[in-house]
Chain A
Amino acid sequence: MISTLPFRTGKLRGGAMALGAALIATSCSSAGGPGAGSPGPTAGTAPAPWELASSLAPSPDPRVGLGAGLFDAEQAFWNMRMVSTTPPPESFLGSTNSDLAFSGDYVIQGNYSGFMIWDISNPASPVLVQDYVCPASQSDVSVYRNLLFVSGEGMEGRLDCGDEGVDQAVSPDRLRGIRIFDISDVRNPEYLGNVQTCRGSHTHTVLEHPGDHDNVYIYVSGSAPVRPADELPGCVGASPDEDPESALFRIEVIRVPLANPAQAAIVSSPRIFDGLVAPPTHGPAPADLAAIEEARARGAFVIEIPAIGETMVLPDQAAAGLLQQVIQARGGEGPPTAADSAALRERLPMIVQNMMGDNLDPEAGPTQCHDITVYPEMGMAGGACEGYGLLLDITDPVNPTRIAAVSDENFAYWHSATFNNAGTAILFTDEWGGGGGPKCRVDDPMEWGANAIFTIEDGDMVFQSYYKLPAPQTELENCVAHNGSLIPVPGRDVKAQSWYQGGISVFDWTDPANPYEIAFFDRGPISAEAMASGGTWSVYWYNGVLVSSEMARGLDIFEFEPSPLLTQNEIEAAKTVRLDQLNVQGQPNFTWPASFVVARAYLDQLERNGALSDARISAVRQALTQAESSSGAQRRSTLTALAGELRSEAAGSRDAQKVRTLVDTLRELAGEE
């Protein structure tokens, strides 16, 4: 559908960009303040945002050809800057850093050898407050109040946290599952207990039950082989046909009693994959649909195969054969008549059903998920489960049920999911090659090892587009789609994402069909001689900064630099969203308390998409400045008047929705709501 991306070349754009930068510099009054009202694009002529981004992207791409090094690799930045980079403590150097969780001023960083707790209250200088050695890859971490949960999957994990490994294939010393710590005192984590699971825990997801304040729940994910029953009684690796107790084809739900977390235990093993006969592709592209409609229009036979979710045009030869059967059935001969065609059309669904017969293998579905992202406010979860992306109903967290499933022939391994803030779109990643391979080389297809974006429509997922790191990497750099989080820019869906040694790519997917990059960071390879595993495992926005777990190099923290693609107001508006804790696999719903900077962010967006004239943008900015510098009744009346004017202009704008959102913000600021 989408061919290999022609990587950008040419110098013209770079020149234009430099010119653009100069103009921006000279047209600025004060950073973050109200604009100077310079002439902008007139309403209705603004380029589409992805065109704008494409015109501004640096060329040649500075990510190409960066020099190698562990702590001194060359680096490339666009629209973001590094605030700090902090190597791991010596005890963890050389062992892989993994995922991140946040609590207050602290970030907890998993490592195959345990976990670290950093105080990031000063992002320019993170302070290590704890390095807890307790090996078991991959140490995926989550927090809930004072509790820390850590995933253990590797064969080397020990109950006693020893680092000597486990020599026997069956051993009473092995831990594969969830470890539970109390981190009320971050300097002295207390190991409370653990829950052993049949496949260990590659990742996990923490969620609350809306009606249950005494417990918290954990979904355990992971696809590693099932442990022998001799090691963990009840574990069955055979298929459910052979043994209904099979540990395959199910997820595990752990209930953690908050009053006594050590008594955490598995409470259900929902078989969310049962009867899963998902489509083999993400569904037809618009062009395919058009072709099918065109075929219908010219009278071709179109067949539906519900079991695999496919609609296809019956090949002429096959249609001719079936028509011959119809003719023979009526004892006729010669070319088919209109009545024969009508008869075939009527019988086709049954013929298809008979042909499918018992051919569907009930076990064709996945046996486990890699990762599940829950979005409690929407009552939904996105499951990335081997060959499928699932949409789950989690209104009853103990008994999640499947709403929809998609598959995609370009996807090798469904890895993780992110919803947009409104819950109307979902993005899945494909960790093709498992993260250890260099899958971003210039010849690797742009739809392999990428993100796939779907809209959620009436409980179905409808494919829209792929997004992959748009800069080729060397074969010395492991690179594929990996973890990231939404950035709370009001009015837009923006995601920062890790691509291992491909670095960080920040992109806008407000329009699910047209994602585009707005910022990036990249380093050269760790080694110039041979592939050395590393790169950014995850990058998450937390209270104003981007925190990245670098597998080899430690903890990196970044800030955005304002640009035409993400303005100072939009950055400041994102910073108004404050969280006490964050596990990215438990997606929070962002809301923005009304503020002047949020209003200015919407105004910048209206300017960017040409939804209001330059004169109006300028006038509204002035009115906002005036309102902000006044108070009481005067501020209220200015804001109310402004809201009234804008409300009457909304219908005539090319982005009426956003104008109305701005109106709501202004009215809230005026104290009307």
Chain B
Amino acid sequence: MHRTIFPARRALLALGVATLSSACATASGGVSAETSTARVGPDAAEAARLEAIYWSQVEGARNRFTEADVDFMVGMIGHHAQALVMAGLVPERSRSPAVQTLARRIDNAQRDEIKLMEQWLQTRGQPVPHWRVEGSTLVFQAGGEATGEHEMAGHEMAGMLTPQQLDELESASETRFDELFLRFMIQHHEGAVEMVRTLFATDGAAQDTDVFRFASDVQVDQATEIARMERMLQEMSSTGESPG
């Protein structure tokens, strides 16, 4: 996409093009790339007044949430955290570049989304769950008391892997691992899609546009990824090899 050009050649190129006679700079300065302090738009006092209104209205819009929204966010943080555990098993066990890529993207995406959900809870004065990954174990603390990863009381998390499934995945390797990883991640993602469905079927839920947008994104992103993983499984079964 971007070709590397050696510095000396760059200088020559710049000199060559500088003579393009039709490329005239206008009075307002054609070729500049400076950070700008001179600006158009509202003056400082007006900008400050508008900014105060902006944040006050953003703050006001944050009050439009229900317990169902909070439960969804808390539950989804735990759900996403388990995906990080699963993705963390991939680098040492998978022999498939495609599975490695998938796991990197899942890790990147779900880590970002966890941050977003934590921020959503925090800005609404809701307790943010504590979680950490110890090896292949997730320790999750939603409210006051610490719980195991499968006893996150009050927060329904469909599609979570059982401890037995996690053990099975952890002890697998190579092609067997890739197949299990894809199957388990499909199960896991289907659970997230189910959580979104449950949320939308709850009275008063997802009126907050942040919640609606986030939950819709989770639904489509993970449904899309499920389709991708199903194709990867098909490829495995047709070639007997891990997807390249």
Interface of A with B (CB < 8 Å)? Answer: 2, 5-6, 10, 12-13, 15-17, 19-25, 27-32, 35-41, 46-48, 50-52, 54-56, 58, 62, 66, 70-72, 74-79, 81-87, 90, 93-96, 112, 124, 137-138, 153-156, 165-169, 223-225, 228, 237, 280, 305, 308, 310, 312, 315, 318, 352, 355-356, 359-361, 364-367, 370, 386-387, 407, 409-410, 412-413, 432-439, 444, 446, 448, 465-467, 470, 514-516, 530-533, 552, 561-564, 567-569, 600, 603-604, 607-608
Contact A318 B10 (CB under 8 A): no
Interchain nearest-CB distance for A532 vs B (Å): 8
Give the nearest-CB partner of B196 in chain A: A225
Give the nearest-CB partner of A600 in chain B: B22
Q: What separation, in Å, do the CA atoms of A392 and B158 have in the docked complex? A: 37
Contact B40 A82 (CB under 8 A): yes
Q: What separation, in Å, do the CA atoms of A228 and B16 have in the docked complex? A: 65
Chain B contributes a number of interface residues (CB within 8 A of A) equal to 99
Contact A27 B21 (CB under 8 A): yes
Contact A41 B16 (CB under 8 A): yes
Interchain nearest-CB distance for B17 vs A (Å): 4
Interface-centre pick from A55, A361, A470 (highest chain B CB count, 10 A): A55
Q: What separation, in Å, do the CA atoms of A275 and B66 have in the docked complex? A: 41
For the complex, would chain A's binding face be called helix, strand, loop or mixed by DSSP majority?
Answer: loop
Q: Which of A223, A356, A470 is close to B216, meaning CB atoms less than 8 Å apart?
A: A223
Q: Does B133 contact A (CB under 8 A)?
A: no
Contact A83 B33 (CB under 8 A): no
B16: chain A residues at CB < 8 Å are 40-41, 46-47
The proximity string for B residues 189-214 relative to A, scoring 1 for CB distances below 8 Å and 0 otherwise, is 00000001100111111110110111
Interchain nearest-CB distance for B19 vs A (Å): 5
Give the nearest-CB partner of A281 in chain B: B98
Q: Which of A35, A41, A83, A413 is close to B40, meaning CB atoms less than 8 Å apart?
A: A83
A516: chain B residues at CB < 8 Å are 2
Contact B205 A155 (CB under 8 A): yes
Interchain nearest-CB distance for A313 vs B (Å): 10
Give the nearest-CB partner of A83 in chain B: B40
A355: chain B residues at CB < 8 Å are 237-239
Contact A20 B109 (CB under 8 A): no
Q: Which of B224-239 contact A (CB under 8 A)?
A: 224-225, 227-228, 230-232, 234-235, 237-239
Contact A436 B212 (CB under 8 A): no
* Residue contacts A-B, CB under 8 angstroms, 25 given: A16-B15, A21-B30, A24-B20, A31-B25, A35-B22, A54-B5, A70-B54, A75-B39, A76-B34, A93-B50, A94-B58, A167-B203, A169-B203, A224-B219, A280-B231, A355-B237, A364-B230, A364-B234, A370-B220, A433-B112, A531-B119, A532-B58, A561-B25, A563-B30, A608-B17
A-B contact sample (12 more), CB < 8 A, given A24-B23, A31-B24: A47-B17, A50-B3, A71-B51, A81-B28, A87-B41, A137-B209, A361-B230, A434-B221, A466-B1, A531-B115, A532-B58, A564-B18
Contact B224 A387 (CB under 8 A): yes
Contact A305 B238 (CB under 8 A): yes
Contact A364 B227 (CB under 8 A): yes
Contact A607 B212 (CB under 8 A): no
Interchain nearest-CB distance for B76 vs A (Å): 14
Q: Does B240 contact A (CB under 8 A)?
A: yes
B153: chain A residues at CB < 8 Å are none
B232: chain A residues at CB < 8 Å are 280
Q: What separation, in Å, do the CA atoms of A20 and B235 have in the docked complex? A: 54
Q: Does B147 contact A (CB under 8 A)?
A: no
Contact B14 A35 (CB under 8 A): no
Q: Which of B15, B26, B57 is close to A562, meaning CB atoms less than 8 Å apart?
A: B26
Q: What separation, in Å, do the CA atoms of A565 and B10 have in the docked complex? A: 15
Q: Which of A41, A366, A432, A561 is close to B30, meaning CB atoms less than 8 Å apart?
A: A561
Give the nearest-CB partner of B108 in chain A: A444
Contact A55 B17 (CB under 8 A): yes
Contact B22 A569 (CB under 8 A): yes
Q: Which of A56, A79, A87, A532 is close to B42, meaning CB atoms less than 8 Å apart?
A: A87
B200: chain A residues at CB < 8 Å are 155, 169, 225
Contact B105 A412 (CB under 8 A): yes
B108: chain A residues at CB < 8 Å are 444
Contact A412 B225 (CB under 8 A): yes
Q: Which of B7, B41, B116, B224 is close to A86, meaning CB atoms less than 8 Å apart?
A: B41
Contact B61 A308 (CB under 8 A): no
Contact A54 B31 (CB under 8 A): no
